[in-house]
A and B are shown apart, each in its own frame.
Chain A
Amino acid sequence: MEALAISLVNAVPLLAGVPLWAVTLLLMVVVAAVILVFALTFEGVGSLVLRKVAGDIQARIGPNRVGPNGMLQFLADGVKLVLKEDLIPANADRLLFKLAPYFAFVGSFAAFVVVPFGVGLIAADLNIGIYYVMAVTSLVVIGVLLAGWSSNNKWALLGGMRAAAQIVSYEIPVGMALIPAVLIAGSLSLQDIVRSQSGLLGIFGWNLFHNPFTFFSFFLYFTAAQAETNQTPFDLPEAESELVSGYNVEYSGIRFGLFFLSEFGDMFIVATLSTACFLGGWNVPFFNAGTLPWIWGNLFSLGVFLAKAFTMVLIMMWVRWTLPRLRVDQLMRMAWKYLVPLTFVNLLGVSLWLLVFKGKGIPAMIASLFG
Chain B
Amino acid sequence: MGLKAYMNDIVEAVVTTAKGMRITARYGVDPREEVTLQYPEERWEIPEGYRGFLHNDIKTCTACTMCVKTCPVDCISLESVRGADKRMVLASYDINIGRCMYCGLCVEVCPPKSLKHTSGYEMASVTRGELILHFIAEDAAEIKARVARQVAEAAAKAEAQAAAKAAEVPSSGTAEVAKAAEAAKAGAQAGPKAAEVPPSGTAEAAGAQASAKTAEVPLSGTKAPDVSSESAKAPVVEPKAAKEGENKE
Give A residues with C-beta under 8 Å from B: 53, 56-61, 318-319, 321-323, 338, 342
Give the docked Cα–Cα distance between A57 and B24 (Å): 5
Give the docked Cα–Cα distance between A295 and B5 (Å): 55
Question: Is the CB of B101 closer than 8 A to any CB of chain A?
Answer: no
Give the docked Cα–Cα distance between A53 and B25 (Å): 10
Q: Cβ of B34 and Cβ of A318 under 8 Å apart? A: no
Interface residue tally for chain B (C-beta within 8 Å): 16
The listed residue with most A CB atoms (<10 A of its CB), out of B17, B28, B38, is B28
Q: List 9 A-B contacts (CB under 8 A).
A: A57-B27, A57-B28, A59-B35, A60-B35, A60-B36, A61-B34, A318-B28, A319-B21, A338-B10
Q: Cβ of A318 and Cβ of B24 under 8 Å apart? A: yes
Q: Cβ of B33 and Cβ of A322 under 8 Å apart? A: no
Set of chain B residues within 8 Å of A53, measured between Cβ atoms: 28
Question: Is the CB of B9 closer than 8 A to any CB of chain A?
Answer: yes
Give the docked Cα–Cα distance between A61 and B29 (Å): 12
Give the docked Cα–Cα distance between A59 and B9 (Å): 31
Nearest A-chain residue to B32, judged by Cβ: A59
Please name 20 further chain A to chain B contacts, defined as beta carbons within 8 Å, in addition to the given A53-B28, A318-B25, sorted by A numbering.
Answer: A56-B27, A56-B28, A56-B34, A57-B24, A58-B27, A59-B33, A60-B34, A60-B35, A61-B34, A61-B36, A318-B21, A318-B24, A318-B28, A319-B21, A322-B20, A322-B23, A322-B24, A323-B17, A323-B20, A338-B10
Set of chain A residues within 8 Å of B24, measured between Cβ atoms: 57, 318, 321-322
A335 CB, min distance to chain B CBs, angstroms: 13
Set of chain A residues within 8 Å of B34, measured between Cβ atoms: 56, 59-61
Give the docked Cα–Cα distance between A301 and B23 (Å): 34
A233 CB, min distance to chain B CBs, angstroms: 9
A245 CB, min distance to chain B CBs, angstroms: 24
* Interchain CB contact (< 8 A) of A319 among B17, B33, B36, B38: B17
B110 CB, min distance to chain A CBs, angstroms: 43
Nearest A-chain residue to B17, judged by Cβ: A323
Nearest A-chain residue to B35, judged by Cβ: A59
Set of chain B residues within 8 Å of A319, measured between Cβ atoms: 17, 21
Q: Cβ of A61 and Cβ of B28 under 8 Å apart? A: no
Set of chain A residues within 8 Å of B20, measured between Cβ atoms: 322-323
Nearest A-chain residue to B33, judged by Cβ: A59
Give the docked Cα–Cα distance between A318 and B33 (Å): 17
Give the docked Cα–Cα distance between A338 and B21 (Å): 21
Identify which of residues 1-53 in chain B touch chain A, using a CB-to-CB cut-off of 8 Å: 9-10, 17, 20-21, 23-25, 27-29, 33-36, 38
Give the docked Cα–Cα distance between A261 and B20 (Å): 28
The listed residue with most A CB atoms (<10 A of its CB), out of B9, B21, B24, B29, is B24
Nearest B-chain residue to A342, judged by Cβ: B10
A220 CB, min distance to chain B CBs, angstroms: 11
Give the docked Cα–Cα distance between A59 and B30 (Å): 9
Give the docked Cα–Cα distance between A247 and B246 (Å): 47
Nearest B-chain residue to A54, judged by Cβ: B28
Q: Cβ of A61 and Cβ of B38 under 8 Å apart? A: yes
Set of chain B residues within 8 Å of A323, measured between Cβ atoms: 17, 20
Set of chain A residues within 8 Å of B9, measured between Cβ atoms: 338
**Shortest Cβ-Cβ A-B pairs, 10 listed:** A56-B28, A59-B33, A322-B20, A322-B24, A57-B28, A57-B24, A61-B36, A322-B21, A59-B35, A60-B36
B24 CB, min distance to chain A CBs, angstroms: 4
Set of chain B residues within 8 Å of A61, measured between Cβ atoms: 34, 36, 38
Q: Cβ of B27 and Cβ of A59 under 8 Å apart? A: yes
Give the docked Cα–Cα distance between A60 and B28 (Å): 10
Set of chain B residues within 8 Å of A338, measured between Cβ atoms: 9-10
Give the docked Cα–Cα distance between A59 and B27 (Å): 6
Set of chain A residues within 8 Å of B10, measured between Cβ atoms: 338, 342
Give the docked Cα–Cα distance between A53 and B36 (Å): 15
Set of chain B residues within 8 Å of A58, measured between Cβ atoms: 27
A217 CB, min distance to chain B CBs, angstroms: 15
Give the docked Cα–Cα distance between A338 and B9 (Å): 9
A346 CB, min distance to chain B CBs, angstroms: 13
Set of chain B residues within 8 Å of A57, measured between Cβ atoms: 24, 27-28
